[in-house]
Amino acid sequence: MLINELDGLTVDRNDLQEKVNETASNLGSCQHITAKIDEWERRTTEKVKQAAELAEKQERRAKKSVVEQDIARLRQEIDQLKKDLTKLAQTPTIELNMKQSDEIKWDHMICVEEKSINVDYQLHQLEPMGKYLSRIRNESFKRT
């Protein structure tokens, strides 16, 4: 009986040892999976960095190209303006137009004309002014 119990304990110990070994093996495979995940993360991060660097280079090239195109366009516009200014400087913009003095009617350049004046209208216009002046004169006498 004791031997049977001892044999049972040995079998239990062997089963337990096997389970411990399986568990250790599983833990090792978990560590292996964790290592694979870490490696995948490292490679992915590196690829993202490379893609970002490539995109930045493309952006710099595109900006440089745009700036170069703008400079070329501005250069053309400046050259055209220079040509236009040169043409403008060579073309007289003011002309002197002199008529012969014989054609001018000197007696009509300046003259004196007599105009008839309506006396009633003028008096009518002066009437309000006279009232205004009288009122001012009366007010100034009252003050003194």
At 36-68, the pLDDT tens digits run: 889 999 999 999 999 999 999 999 888 888 788
How many CA atoms lie less than 13 Å away from 79 in the CB half-sphere? 6
**pLDDT the model gives residue 141:** 61
Report field, pTM of the whole predicted structure over 0.75? no
Q: What is the mean pLDDT of residues 109-127?
A: 61
Closest C-alpha to 61, from 136, 18, 53: 53
* Angle (nearest 5°) at CA 75 between 70 and 81: 125
| Alpha-carbon span 109 to 115, nearest angstrom | 18
At 71-116, the pLDDT tens digits run: 889 899 999 999 988 887 787 767 766 666 666 676 766 766 666 6
